[in-house]
A and B are shown apart, each in its own frame.
Chain A
Amino acid sequence: MKTDIILSGVGGQGILSIAAVIGEAALKEGLYMKQAEVHGMSQRGGDVQSGLRLSDRPVASDLIPKGQADLIISLEPMESLRYLPYLKQEGWVVTGSQPYLNIPDYPDMEEIKAELGRLPHSVALDAEQIATEAGSVRAANIVILGAATPFIGIEYAKIEEGIRSIFRRKGEDVVQLNLRALRAGLDAAGRITVNH
């Protein structure tokens, strides 16, 4: 088993919580992992990414080589495209569809959709909307994680366990909210993928 995942978004959107949940699940599975994060200046509203590498053998490089990622999980549509050089030919892109508008020259959404459409495997979903329906827009990142669960290589139930242990200290309500968001993301992605 070996899965290389790029997590992307804009500073402050919550990619590191996704990484923490998957990391927790991977640790419980007894997998080896490395997860490279970006801290510091780039967190201030700039583009951020984290590389997550899971394997049943020891992982050498902290960085994912180009053309090797099985999956890009992005909280923002344009950011999902920024890391395409890391994606495998047959890799998946799972992204939020709501643009994060903090730059003056944000491209036309139709062009972004067209680029995503050119990839063999991509899912874009309105995570904010789905999260709001599940209880709070703050769980939008976990909705995207839910949509990506079929491609991570870890059982869904183990990801749920990851959610429980990462959010436990924030209380049972937060745990339940995120579990609902996870499921809602998975369901929504299933519907979209069937239509695709």
Chain B
Amino acid sequence: MGKHLFLGDEAIAQAAIDAGLSGVYAYPGTPSTEITEYIQDSDMAKSRGIRSKWCVNEKTALEAALGMSYAGKRALCCMKHVGLNVAADCFMNAAMSGVNGGLIIVTADDPSMHSSQNEQDNRVLGNFAMIPMLEPSNQQEAYDMVYGGFEMSERLGYPVLLRITTRMAHSRAGVETRPVKPQRPVSFPADGKQRFILLPVNARRRFRALLKAQETFALESETSPYNTYFDAPNREVGIITCGIGFNYIAENYPDGPEHPTLKICQYPLPRKQIEQLAATCREILVLEEGYPVVEELLRGIAGGDRSLTVHGRLDGTLPRDGELTPDIVGKTLGKDVGACYDVPGVVAQRPPCLCAGCGHRDLYSALNEVAGEYEGARVFSDIGCYTLGALPPFQAIDSCIDMGASITMAKGAADAGVFPAVSVIGDSTFTHSGMTGLLDCVNEQTPVTIIISDNETTAMTGGQDSAGTGRLEAICLGIGVEPEHLHVMTPLKKNYEEMKRIIRREIEYRGVSVLIPRRECIQSLKRKHTAKK
């Protein structure tokens, strides 16, 4: 107990430990990574035997978390927003089975795409699964929600989705912690065979139960301490804030809201309070981080309250995309805000780039030369540091869509007649979602050249363990890659000629080739070096 300076992510982690967590399951992804890292580094978590190793991907993570919950213990599963797409199959059906031990699923959304391919708002997925959702407005709430969230999950019998966004995940503030609770013993769900075997006969029953539970979830929201109605004198416009949107109101009205304001941090939406606000104000401004989820509901299409005007991202009051900022909100509220200075014209862009000495650089240098020898060469790439090969000076890749897509897109392109079709994927991304696509290629002997650029870590997110380190060749051979078309090389300048020769030869082979340029991540190497000192 006591006051600590925590990142939002760390507050979530500590709260889970304090609440009697037995296991965290996750795959690294910005901005969620630090939750699991905190638990891995925590002496308290170690002494309590909390399971915390990285999982192969978000789907395996959520399934394992559900298994722990089935066994009666409290489990936490963390991912970035797009990770929930990977875990969606389990996610949707965990809402059907329900839980036994408390299960909290954290989705760390990234509006403005600081480090992501899209800015999907996973409240939509929460609604899709029809489970209760929590969205903290500050680090203390993040702590409290997780601390109490396991009990809530057990009481309701369903998983709880905790949605945070980048500024909550990666901002530090003082957090008061609470007494540590014991972990739960193994216990099995009394009606397990009914709930956890989703045969149609059971699933139909479970779906009706989930539908019925919506009333309870709504009541929970309406009585939740996290949903607060502030009355205020200026009733021309009422304001609804979701999650950290409230902070931008507080920033602009330091002495309290001037308009009636409904702060929403728990879903499904608290209908009563929204009706109260709509009865008080004829105009409502909605401040939500992400998609216009609440705004769209308020607006309706037909049969909505025509005398109610709704402002937000859909009517142009706020930008349709990107995260909220105190400036955007201040301007919307008519506050005199703005810069005193412009960015001087002399300031140049400084995009992220591959580190000096990185093995991906040497791979791309060699690959670019060989690819340049073919008119129609296309290089399908993937999610990781090596995506930076898209930028100058390399401009070496043609795609980056989702985890593992490099292999399967290269396959589809090869099927369409593209030659050469090359895939560049990292080691961690390969084990995350590339192995299944490789099997597709092997089964059809598709002419693709797959390059697993192996830096023996999950580098982009800060150097977490990579699931296949030391076993990539064995995995590829096991999937059925022919030994004579599997090559390991060391990406260094002195090896360029050999690398080029191998790449050229394997491109010319009209079947599946796997090349593994392997050299440890330069950042991992530095960290090890520093640690030794």
- A: residues with CB less than 8 A from B are 10-11, 19, 23-24, 27, 32-47, 57, 59-67, 78-79, 81-82, 84-89, 102-108, 111-112, 115, 119
Contacts and interface: CB of A to CB of B under 8 A. Distances in A.
Given A37-B170, A41-B114, A85 B342 contact: yes
Interface residues of B, number: 52
B475 interface: no
B461 A23 contact: no
Contact of B348 (A24, A62, A78, A88): A78
A2 B115 CA distance: 31
A60 B352 contact: no
Given A60-B254, A61-B326, A10 B350 contact: yes
Contacts, number: 152
Contacts of A88: 340
Contacts of B248: 60-61
Interface of B: 3, 5, 7, 30-31, 33-34, 114-115, 167-168, 170-174, 244, 247-251, 254, 325-327, 330, 337-344, 346-356, 385, 388, 392, 460-462
B343 A42 contact: no
A35 B115 contact: no
6 contacts: A33-B172, A45-B352, A61-B248, A62-B173, A65-B326, A78-B347
B7 A46 contact: no
B247 A41 contact: no
Nearest to A106: B348
Contact of B171 (A45, A62, A107): A62
A66 B337 CA distance: 7
B334 to A, nearest CB: 15
A42 B33 CA distance: 15
Contacts of A81: 343-344, 346-347
B251 A85 contact: no
Contacts of A84: 339, 341-344
Given A37-B7, A46-B351, A62 B167 contact: yes
A66 to B, nearest CB: 4
A79 B347 CA distance: 8
Given A82-B347, A106-B348, A62 B353 contact: no
A35 B34 contact: no
Contacts of B348: 78, 103, 105-107
Which among B33, B325, B462 has the highest number of chain A CB atoms within 10 Å?
B325
Nearest to A52: B172
A63 B167 contact: yes
Which among B343, B347, B348 has the highest number of chain A CB atoms within 10 Å?
B347
A106 B5 CA distance: 37
A60 B173 CA distance: 10
Contact of B339 (A34, A41, A86, A106): A86
Contact of A34 (B173, B349, B355): B173
Given A37-B7, A42-B114, A65 B170 contact: no
Given A63-B325, A65-B326, A81-B343, A39 B170 contact: yes
A39 B115 contact: yes
Contacts of B30: 39-41
A39 B343 contact: no
Contact of A40 (B114, B168, B337, B347): B114
Contacts of B325: 63, 65
A105 B251 CA distance: 38
A37 B115 contact: no
Nearest to B253: A60
Contacts of A62: 167-168, 171, 173, 244, 247
B338 A35 contact: no
B352 A11 contact: yes
A38 B114 contact: yes
A23 B171 CA distance: 12
Contacts of B341: 84-85, 87, 119
B171 A39 contact: no
B337 A67 contact: yes
A55 B531 CA distance: 35
B115 A40 contact: yes
Which among B348, B355, B385 has the highest number of chain A CB atoms within 10 Å?
B348
A39 to B, nearest CB: 6
Nearest to A83: B343
Contacts of A37: 7, 170-172
A81 B343 CA distance: 6
B282 to A, nearest CB: 27
Given A61-B248, A79-B350, 16 more contacts: A10-B350, A24-B5, A34-B172, A40-B460, A41-B460, A44-B353, A45-B354, A46-B351, A61-B251, A62-B244, A63-B325, A67-B337, A84-B343, A103-B350, A105-B348, A107-B346
B352 A43 contact: yes
B7 A60 contact: no
Contacts of A107: 346-348
Contacts of B330: 65
Contact of B247 (A23, A39, A60, A119): A60
Given A63-B167, A89-B340, A44 B174 contact: no
Contacts of A105: 348
Nearest to A82: B347
Contacts of A78: 346-348, 350
Nearest to A115: B344
B346 A65 contact: no
Contacts of A41: 30, 114-115, 352, 388, 460
Contacts of B172: 19, 23, 33-37
A75 to B, nearest CB: 13
A62 B139 CA distance: 10
Contacts of B247: 60-62
A155 to B, nearest CB: 19
Contact of A65 (B251, B342, B388): B251
A39 B338 contact: no
A157 to B, nearest CB: 20
Nearest to B348: A105
